[in-house]
């Protein structure tokens, strides 16, 4: 009698685990952040469209190759729409100063240009 109970409970547990996992997979967000497809709702629609194009074109690349590919497609942000325009302008200047460096050097360069 105990053997049958264990079998039934184990089967139910396995079924519930598989079922709940499949539901969770459908509800969970995709990795890489939110994927905005409707650029009319974005603060900067032209940049949004360029980002979608860049993600499609550079999706199979990794590391410095991907960064270089994304840089060819992306448009500089319009700082007039930014919540903090001064910070946006400072970030643009820092990115221009650090352009063309390998990934680890880019991070260090951006940190050195960071203003709070």
Highest mean pLDDT among 15-19, 43-47, 51-55: 51-55
Instruction: Quickly tell me which residue has 């053997």 as its tokens.
Output: 3
Q: Contact, 21 vs 14, CB < 8 A? A: no
CA distance 113 to 105: 12
* pLDDT tens-digit series, residues 47-84: 888 888 888 899 899 988 888 888 888 777 788 878 88
The model's pTM: 0.47
Q: Would you give the distance in Å from CA 2 to the centre of its chain?
A: 51
| Residue 80 DSSP one-character state | T
Cβ-contact 94, 102 below 8 angstroms: no
- H or E segment to which residue 43 belongs: none
């Amino acid at each position: 009698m105990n053997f049958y109970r264990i079998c039934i409970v184990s089967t139910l547990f396995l079924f519930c685990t598989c079922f709940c996992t499949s539901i969770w997979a459908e509800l969970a967000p995709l990795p890489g952040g939110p994927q905005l497809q409707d650029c009319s709702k974005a603060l900067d629609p032209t940049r949004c469209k360029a980002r979608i194009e860049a993600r499609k074109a550079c999706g199979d690349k990794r590391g410095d190759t991907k960064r270089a590919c994304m840089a060819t497609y992306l448009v500089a942000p319009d700082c007039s729409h930014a919540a903090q325009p001064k910070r946006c302008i400072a970030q643009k200047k820092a990115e221009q100063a650090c352009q063309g460096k390998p990934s680890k050097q880019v991070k260090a360069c951006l940190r050195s240009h960071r203003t709070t």
